[in-house]
Structure 1
Amino acid sequence: MDRVKIGKLPAELTSFVGRRREVGDVKRLLTQGRLVTLTGVGGTGKTRLAQRVATELRRAFPHGVWFVDLPHRNGTDQPATEAHDPDVLACLVGAALGLPMQSALPPLRLLADQLAARHMLLVLDNCEQLIPACATLVDTLLRTCPEQRILATSRELLGIAGELTYAVPPLPTPESQTSPDLKELSRNESVALFVTRAEVAETGFQLTEQNRAAVADICRQLDGLPLAIELAAARIRVLTPLQIVDRLGDRFALLSSSERAAPHRQQTLRACVGWSFDLCSPSERSLWARLSVFDGGFQLAAVEGICADDTLPEAGILDLVTGLVHKSILTFDNRGAFARYRMLETIRQYGQEELGRRGEAASLRRRHADWYTSRADEAERDWFGPDQDRWCQWLWAEHGNLRVAFDFCLSVPDGRERALHLAGTLWFYWLVFGLVSEGRTWLRRALEANAERTRDRAVAQWIDGHLAFVQGDLDTADAQLEAARDLARELGDELTQARAVKRLGAVAMFRGDHELANALLTDALARFEALGEQGASVAHARIGLAMNSYLQGDFAAAVQQDQQVLAICRPRGDRYLLAHGLNNLARVEFALGKLESASAHAHEALKLGRSLPDAMTLMFSLDLLTEITAAAGDYERAATLIGAARNRWQVLSSVRHWTVLAEPHREWVDRTRQALGDAAFAAAVRRGSDFAIDDVISYALGEYVEPSPDPDTITPDVRLTRRESQIAELVAQGMSNRQIAAQLVISQRTAEGHIERIMQKLGCNSRTQIVRWFHDR
C-alpha cells in the first residue's frame, strides 16, 4: 500500500484559476458549521477548491491546516481494503498528522483523545469509496474535538448529523447567444482555465479573434468541467482549438493526459467518469445508462414513464434518482413547480456508451419518443385554458427532448408518420415562442418523409401555411393552405378544412382583399360553430374578422368581434388569444380617440405578455403604447419605447410585414423625432435599447423604478451595468444565486457569471463585500 500523502498542505503545481465565489462560499460555511463536504461529479475541481480554501484559512487555525489524501492500493485508484475499518483509517490519519499511535487504546479513540484540545482544520480528500469508515471517523472527531473543523471532498455525502454540503459547480461558460469582446471572454472562468493550461502546453498560445469562438465552444461543450477543459487544453500541442471542437464527439478518446504523476482517474476523462460509475449500485448504473436518452434535463415523471420496467420498477425510481443526486451524477433544480434533473454532457455520453453496450439504446429511444409525443398531444388538448402557463414552461424546458424524439421518429421507417404528427401537434409552441423558422424546418423534413395523403399531412400543411404567413411568405402560405384545405376535404376532416379556410382569409386580408377575407373568415367561423367548437378556433376566427373590420374602417363591427373574443377567453383562463383581442380592441379605441381606454387595454395585454413568451404580442403592445404615448404628447417616453422595441423587432423582422400597421407607426416615430429634435430623440432611443426585457415591460406599464445612481457617479474607477447594479441590489437583499435567477428569469449560471464580474469590477472576493459596498453607496 502506498504511504498516505501527508503534509500540512500539498504544493500547488499549477495556477489556481477563478473560483473566487466558491472559495468565499466554502469559507463562510466553515464559520457556520464544523463539517463541510464538497460534493460534485469527478473532475469538477473539489480537491483544488479544498486546497485553496485551506490555504487561505491557515492563519485561522493555531494548530494548523492538515490535508489527508485517503489511501489507495499501489498503482490503482481503488481504496486500500483495510482502510474500510474506522480504526485502520484512524491510524492512517494519525500517521498523516504525525501523531504517535502506539497506545493500547482503540486507534479511533486514541486519535480523538489526541486531537481533543486542538483548534485545527482537517481536510479529508476523496472520501467517496470509504463512506462508512469516513462517516464514523468524522462523527467521532466532531463529538470529541470541539475546536476542530473538517472539510471533506467526496462524490457522495457522508450522511452524518451537522454536515453542511456544498455542491461544487462546473465553471461558468460563455453564453451561446452572446458574442463578447475578447477581453470580456478572457474573464470567463472556463475560458481563462483553458487559456492558462494551453499556455503551459504550448508556449505562445493566446486567445485571439480567430480562435475565440472555438475556445468558447470547447468550454460550452465540456460544460465547464475543469478536468475536461485541462485535458482538452493539453491537446493544443498537436491540435488547434477548432480541431479539438471537431473531435469532441468522441471526447473519451480525445481527452487523456500524459501526466504520469496524476492519479489514474485524472489521467483520462473516461477513467474519471468510470470511477463515478463504479461507485454506483447495479441499479443506479442501469438508470444512469437509461437517463442518457434525455437531452437538456428531465422531470421525475418522465423518468418513471420511460426508464421503469420489470428490472427497474417504477416504485424504486425515486430512490435511485436520489442516489444519483447524492453521488453527484445528477444535478437538481427546484426553481420551477416541478423539480428537474440534469446530467453534464460528459456524464450523458458515458451513459449512452453504456446503454449501447447493454443493447437497450433503440428500445429506450422509442419509449422516450412515445412518451414525449403523448405529452405533446396532452399539451395541445389543454393549451387553451388555465394551464397555459404550465404548458409554456414545460414545452420550453423540454425542447431538447422534443427535438430528440422528433429526430428518432424520422430515423426509423415506422416512426415517420409519428414525426409528422409531433411537428403538427406543436403548432402553438412554434407561434408563441417565436420559433417559426424551426417549426417550418421540422414540418418540411416531416412532409418530405411522408408522401401519404393522411390527416396528419393535411394538419402539417395547414400549420406550415400558417407559419409561412407569419413570416410574410404569402405565396407559400397560399399554396400550403390550399393544399391542406383540399386534402382535408378529400379525407372528410372538417376541422382542418375550417382552419385552412380561416388562415386563407387572413392571407387575403394581408393582401388587401378585404371582401374575400371577410367571406373566408365568416365561412370558417360558421364551420367551427357547426362543429360545436367553442374555444380557440372560434376566438381565432373572430380576431381575424375584428382586424378585417378595423382595416375597412368599420369600427363598430371590430369592437363587437373583439368583445366576443374577450368573452370567450376570459372564462377559460386563456392569456395568449386574450392578449391579441385586447391589442385589437385597444387599436380600435385609439382610432376612435379613446386614449384612456386604449391605454388600459394595451396595458392589460402587456401584463399578460409578462407570463407568456409570445414576442409578437409584446411587440404589437409596445408599438401601440408608443403611438398612444406620443398622441398624449409624452414624446420622450414614446422615444424610449421606440428604442425598447427596435432591437426586439429585429429578431422578428420576418414577421413585421403588415404595412397597413407599419406605415402609421412610422408616422408616429417621425412625429416624435420632430417634437424632440434629433439629439434628444437619439438619446431616448438609446436609453430604451439598453433595457432588459423585464425593464421594457415595467417601463411600458409605468412601474419602472430608476436604479440607484451607477457607482461611477460615486467611485469613478468602477462602472456596473444596469443589470449588474440590479443583481448587486438583490445580493444585498440576501438572495441566493438561485433566487436571483428565478427573480430575473435567467439561468443560475448566468446569475453566477454576473456576480463574478461584479466582484472583479469591485475588487472584492465575497458576497458580504458586495453587500457592504451596496449599502455604503
Structure 2
Amino acid sequence: MRRSNLPAELNRFVGRDAERAELDGLLAEFRLVTVVGVGGVGKSRLAVNVARASQKRYCDGVRLADLARLRDPGLVEHALVEALGLTDQTSRPPREVLVDHLADRTLLLVLDGFEHLVDACADLVRRLLCGAPGLTVLAAGRRPLRLDGEAVLPLPPLSDEDAVRLFTDRAVAARPGFRAEEEGEPVRELCRRLDGIPLALELAAGRLPALTVEQVLSRLDDRFRLLTHGTRGAPARHRTLRTAIGWSHELCTPQERLLWARLSVFAGPFDLDAAEYVCGGPQLPADRVLDVLGGLIAQSVVLREADAAGSRYRMLDTVAAYGAEWLAALGDAERVRRRHRDWYMGLATWCELEWFSPRQAEVAACADGALPNLRAALELCLETPDEAHLAQHMAGTLWFYWVGCGRLAEGRHWLDRALAPGSGPGHEEARLKALWVLGYVAILQGDATAAVRALHECGERAARGRNALALAYTTHRLGCLALLSDEVPRAEELLDGALASYRELGELNSQVLMAQVELAMAKVFRGDLESAVALCEDVREVCEERGERWTRAYALYVLAYAAWTRGDHGEARDLLAECVGIDHAFHDLVGLVLAIELLALVTASEGDPAEAAVLQGAAGSLWEAVGPPLFGSAYFGAPRALCERRAREVLGGERFGAYVAEGGRLSVDAAVARALAGRAGGASAAPADRPRDGSAPAPGTRKPAGSPTGKGGEAAG
C-alpha cells in the first residue's frame, strides 16, 4: 500500500506561510486539529499541503478521506476503510476494522468536507483516537468537531499580498504573458472586492482569456448588488463567495448555465458519455454537451483529470452546490437525478456482463471510478419505497464488485438496506438476485447465519415462482457454504446439482466457472485429485477463451495444490505466482490469502522453513481482514497445519514464532512482493512431505510428523 493517497498538486500552492507554520506546529502538539473556514477559503488545499510536507513524521503514512460528496452517515466508516486502503471482507463492523488497523500505527488521517456529517464523524474520530494512540487527525470543514483535545485553526481569507500573488499566478496560466505590474491598481482592487477568497480569485482569473481585468471588475461590480442578498444572517464572506460564483455563472452562456446545473447531480468524477446521457435533453441536445462542457472547462467551472478508467471530469463541491440550487429552481432536479440513476444502473449492468470478458480489469477500474455515483444512484432508489426493487436489482448486479474487488462490507451495507423490512414492494426477480448475492457475501464474511437465512428465503421464493435460474444460484451458494463448513459430501452433491442446472439453462459466466472450481476443491478434499485437475483445466481453458482472470486464479490454486502433491514445486510456485498477482490486482483477499498459505507450504517443501514461516505470518495477518481463519475449516487449513509442523520442527518454536511475527508485520503489498520474490534455489522436498493420494487430512485427525495424511512413507513423484 502506498504511504499516501494525497492528490498531486496541479498548480502551485501560493502564500499562507504563516498559516502553514501554525498548522504544522499544531500537528506536532495535538492529535486532533481542525481547520475551519467558509467555503472556497482554501481549507482543503492548506490541509493537504501541510500533510504532504509532514509525511516523514508518520511512519505509517498519510491518508486522505474526502467526505464532501457523501450523503449517508452510515457510509462514513466505509469511506475511511476505503481511504486507508483496507480490504476487509469480514462481517465485522467497519469501525472495529478501523480501530484494529490503526491501533498500533503512527499515521496522519486527513478528513475533508465533513461538516454535513459532523455527528457521525465526531463519534467515529473520538473512537479512533481513543483506540489508536499513534493516530493524528487533521480535519478540514466549515465547523469544528467539538471534541475534547481538538485544536481549531480558523482560516481567514488571503492577505492582500497573497491574494495578488495567487491571482497573478492563475492569471498567467490562463493568459500567458499576463503581467500584474502592468495592470496595477485594478488587480489589487479586484482582489479586495473578492475578499481574498482563493476560489473566487481563481474563478476570476479563469475569465481573463476573454476579458481584461478592468472588464472583470466592472462586471463584478454590476453583479454585486444583484447577488449579495443571500441567506439572512449568512457571513459576509460567504455572501461574497456566492457573489463570485454567481457572477461567473452570469457570464456563462445560457446553455453553459443549464449544463452547470445538470452536472451538479454527479456525486464524483464522470465521463463524457455519462454527461451526454444525463444532461442532454430539453434546450440542450446530447450532441451539444461536449462543446458546452468545453466552455465550462475553459472557465474552470469543470476540471478535467485522468485516472485508471481514462479521462474524467469533476466539479468543485462549492461550484456543484451552486449548480444544484439552480437545478432545483428550474424544477428539473427530479428528472435529471432519475436520468443519473438510470445511467449508473445501466453502467452496473454493463459491468456485470463485461466482467466475464477480457475487459475484466477495465470493469474493475470503471466500478472504482464510478463508486461515488453508484452510491448516489443506490441512495435515490432507496429514497422511494416503491422503487426498492431498483435498489435490489442494482445491489445484486454489483455482486462482481462486492465479491471480486474486495468490497464485501459495502456490498453487505447496500444489500441489507435494499432488503430491509419495510423497504417497499419489490419485483420478485430483483429480490431473488439480491437474496442469493447477500447469501454469497455473508458466506465469504463468515456469517453463516445470515447466509442461511437469505438463501433459505431465496430458495423458497424461487421454488414457488418456478424461477429455475435463481434456484440454481441458491443451490450453488448452499454448496459453497457446505464446502466451507467441511460438509464435503453435501457440498459435492449441491455443486453437482447447480452445475447441471446451469448447463440445462445455458448459463455460463464467472459464477458458473466458480461452481466448477468449488466442486474441484470438494473432490480434492475427498482425495479425487484426478477429477479435480480435469475440472480446473477445463475452467482454465474457458477462462483463456473468454479472457476471464478472476475465476482463473482460483482454478490455478487447485492446480498448484495438485502440482505440489506430485512433487513439482516449480510448477506449483509458477501457478501460485500468477494466482497471487491476479488476486492482488482485484483486491480479492480471500483468493490471495489462500494462495499465500499454499505458497508457504511449497516454500517449506523446497527446504526454506524460515521463509515459509514469514509467509505464514503474512497470511495470518491477512486472515484478520478476511474472516474466521481458513473459514474454520480443517480441510482448508491442511496446508497451513502441515507447513507449520514442518517449519517448527526445523526451526524450533522460538525461531518459528519470530519469523511468523516478521511476516505478520508486512503490509498487503509487501506480503505480495515477498510471495512473488520466490527463492533463489533451495533443497528438494523431503519425500514424506507429500501425500500419496493427494487427499487432505480429515477434520480433527492427528497426523504423525512428516505425513499430512497420517499414512507416512513416500509419495510417487
TM-score w.r.t. structure 2 length? Answer: 0.64
Q: Tell me what 2:607 maps to.
A: 633
Q: Tell me what 2:330 maps to.
A: 358
CA distance in 2, matches of 1:13, 1:521: 64
User: Residue 424 of structure 1 contacts residue 463 of structure 1 at CA under 8 Å; is this kept in 2?
Assistant: yes
Q: Residues 681 and 14 from structure 1, CA distance in 2 versus in 1: closer, same or farther, beyond 3 angstroms?
A: same
Aligned-residue offset at 1:631: 1.7
Q: Tell me what 1:272 maps to.
A: 241
- For residues 60-97 of structure 1, what are the alpha-carbon distances to aligned partners after superposition, in whole Å with 9 as ceiling and x for unaligned? xxxxxxxxxxxxxxxxxxxxxxxxxxxxxxxxxxxxxx
1:132-531 to structure 2, matched below 5 A, reads 173=64, 176=80, 177=83, 185=108, 216=137, 218-219=139-140, 222=141, 232=142, 240=146, 263-265=193-195, 266=197, 268-272=237-241, 274-280=243-249, 281=252, 282-448=254-420, 449-452=423-426, 454-531=428-505
Aligned-residue offset at 1:624: 1.0
Letter in 1 for 2:538: Q
Specify which of 501, 517, 525 is matched with residue 543 of structure 1.
517
- For residues 21-51 of structure 1, what are the alpha-carbon distances to aligned partners after superposition, in whole Å with 9 as ceiling and x for unaligned? xxxxxxxxxxxxxxxxxxxx95449999xxx
Q: Residues 518 and 631 from structure 1, CA distance in 2 versus in 1: closer, same or farther, beyond 3 angstroms?
A: same
Letter in 2 for 1:321: L
Aligned-residue offset at 1:427: 1.2
Q: What SS does structure 2 have at the residue aligned with 1:661?
A: coil
Q: What SS does structure 1 have at the residue aligned with 2:380?
A: helix
CA distance in 2, matches of 1:434, 1:174: 18
Matched, 1:676 2:651: yes
Aligned-residue offset at 1:630: 1.2
Aligned-residue offset at 1:556: 1.4
Letter in 2 for 1:455: E
Q: Residues 271 and 554 from structure 1, CA distance in 2 versus in 1: closer, same or farther, beyond 3 angstroms?
A: same
* Unpaired runs of at least 5, structure 1: 1-10, 21-40, 49-170, 192-207, 223-231, 247-253, 706-777
Letter in 2 for 1:701: L
Matched, 1:699 2:702: no
Letter in 2 for 1:665: R
Q: Tell me what 1:572 maps to.
A: 546
Q: Residues 331 and 216 from structure 1, CA distance in 2 versus in 1: closer, same or farther, beyond 3 angstroms?
A: farther
Q: Residues 298 and 633 from structure 1, CA distance in 2 versus in 1: closer, same or farther, beyond 3 angstroms?
A: same
Letter in 2 for 1:377: T
Letter in 2 for 1:240: R
Structure of greater relative contact order (alpha carbons < 8 Å, 6+ residues apart): 2
CA distance in 2, matches of 1:365, 1:395: 19
Letter in 1 for 2:647: T
Q: What SS does structure 2 have at the residue aligned with 1:331?
A: strand
Aligned-residue offset at 1:680: 4.5
User: Residue 17 of structure 1 contacts residue 189 of structure 1 at CA under 8 Å; is this kept in 2?
Assistant: no
Aligned-residue offset at 1:352: 2.5
Aligned-residue offset at 1:391: 0.7
- For residues 80-116 of structure 1, what are the alpha-carbon distances to aligned partners after superposition, in whole Å with 9 as ceiling and x for unaligned? xxxxxxxxxxxxxxxxxxxxxxxxxxxxxxxxxxxxx
Letter in 2 for 1:218: A
Aligned-residue offset at 1:603: 1.6
Q: Residues 406 and 190 from structure 1, CA distance in 2 versus in 1: closer, same or farther, beyond 3 angstroms?
A: closer
CA distance in 1, matches of 2:653, 2:669: 27
1:40-55 to structure 2, matched below 5 A, reads 43-44=41-42
User: Residue 376 of structure 1 contacts residue 422 of structure 1 at CA under 8 Å; is this kept in 2?
Assistant: yes
Q: Residues 530 and 701 from structure 1, CA distance in 2 versus in 1: closer, same or farther, beyond 3 angstroms?
A: same
- For residues 398-446 of structure 1, what are the alpha-carbon distances to aligned partners after superposition, in whole Å with 9 as ceiling and x for unaligned? 1111111011011124422111111111112110122223222222221
CA distance in 1, matches of 2:306, 2:564: 44
User: Residue 297 of structure 2 contacts residue 304 of structure 2 at CA under 8 Å; is this kept in 1?
Assistant: yes
Matched, 1:15 2:18: yes
Q: What SS does structure 1 have at the residue aligned with 2:313?
A: strand
User: Residue 309 of structure 2 contacts residue 369 of structure 2 at CA under 8 Å; is this kept in 1?
Assistant: no
CA distance in 2, matches of 1:317, 1:568: 42
Letter in 2 for 1:332: R
Aligned-residue offset at 1:244: 11
Specify which of 498, 507, 532 is matched with residue 558 of structure 1.
532
User: Residue 106 of structure 2 contacts residue 134 of structure 2 at CA under 8 Å; is this kept in 1?
Assistant: no
Q: Residues 405 and 12 from structure 1, CA distance in 2 versus in 1: closer, same or farther, beyond 3 angstroms?
A: closer
Specify which of 624, 637, 652 is matched with residue 662 of structure 1.
637
User: Residue 289 of structure 1 contacts residue 352 of structure 1 at CA under 8 Å; is this kept in 2?
Assistant: yes
Q: Residues 509 and 325 from structure 1, CA distance in 2 versus in 1: closer, same or farther, beyond 3 angstroms?
A: same
Letter in 2 for 1:595: H
User: Residue 386 of structure 2 contacts residue 426 of structure 2 at CA under 8 Å; is this kept in 1?
Assistant: no
User: Which range moved further: 548-557 or 608-617?
Assistant: 608-617
- For residues 299-328 of structure 1, what are the alpha-carbon distances to aligned partners after superposition, in whole Å with 9 as ceiling and x for unaligned? 121111101213222223223333333333
User: Residue 309 of structure 2 contacts residue 365 of structure 2 at CA under 8 Å; is this kept in 1?
Assistant: no
1:588-603 to structure 2, matched below 5 A, reads 588-603=562-577
Q: Residues 258 and 511 from structure 1, CA distance in 2 versus in 1: closer, same or farther, beyond 3 angstroms?
A: closer
Q: Residues 312 and 43 from structure 1, CA distance in 2 versus in 1: closer, same or farther, beyond 3 angstroms?
A: farther
User: Which range moved further: 390-399 or 560-569?
Assistant: 560-569
Higher-Rg structure is 1
Q: Residues 645 and 333 from structure 1, CA distance in 2 versus in 1: closer, same or farther, beyond 3 angstroms?
A: farther
Letter in 1 for 2:361: D
Q: Tell me what 2:165 maps to.
A: none
Q: What SS does structure 2 have at the residue aligned with 1:339?
A: strand
- For residues 503-528 of structure 1, what are the alpha-carbon distances to aligned partners after superposition, in whole Å with 9 as ceiling and x for unaligned? 22222233333322222211111111
The two structures, once aligned, show a CA RMSD in angstroms of 4.1
Identical amino acids, percent of aligned pairs: 31
User: Residue 107 of structure 2 contacts residue 134 of structure 2 at CA under 8 Å; is this kept in 1?
Assistant: no
Letter in 1 for 2:459: R
Q: Residues 291 and 270 from structure 1, CA distance in 2 versus in 1: closer, same or farther, beyond 3 angstroms?
A: farther
Q: Residues 304 and 274 from structure 1, CA distance in 2 versus in 1: closer, same or farther, beyond 3 angstroms?
A: farther
Aligned-residue offset at 1:13: 9.5
User: Residue 514 of structure 1 contacts residue 548 of structure 1 at CA under 8 Å; is this kept in 2?
Assistant: yes
CA distance in 2, matches of 1:183, 1:687: 18
Q: Residues 490 and 273 from structure 1, CA distance in 2 versus in 1: closer, same or farther, beyond 3 angstroms?
A: same
User: Residue 174 of structure 1 contacts residue 216 of structure 1 at CA under 8 Å; is this kept in 2?
Assistant: no
User: Which range moved further: 464-473 or 444-453?
Assistant: 444-453
User: Residue 453 of structure 1 contacts residue 487 of structure 1 at CA under 8 Å; is this kept in 2?
Assistant: no
User: Residue 174 of structure 1 contacts residue 185 of structure 1 at CA under 8 Å; is this kept in 2?
Assistant: no
Aligned-residue offset at 1:367: 0.9
Q: Residues 421 and 18 from structure 1, CA distance in 2 versus in 1: closer, same or farther, beyond 3 angstroms?
A: farther
* Unpaired runs of at least 5, structure 2: 1-13, 24-38, 47-61, 67-79, 85-101, 114-127, 161-190, 198-235, 681-717
Letter in 1 for 2:674: Y
Q: Residues 561 and 276 from structure 1, CA distance in 2 versus in 1: closer, same or farther, beyond 3 angstroms?
A: same
Q: Residues 510 and 425 from structure 1, CA distance in 2 versus in 1: closer, same or farther, beyond 3 angstroms?
A: same
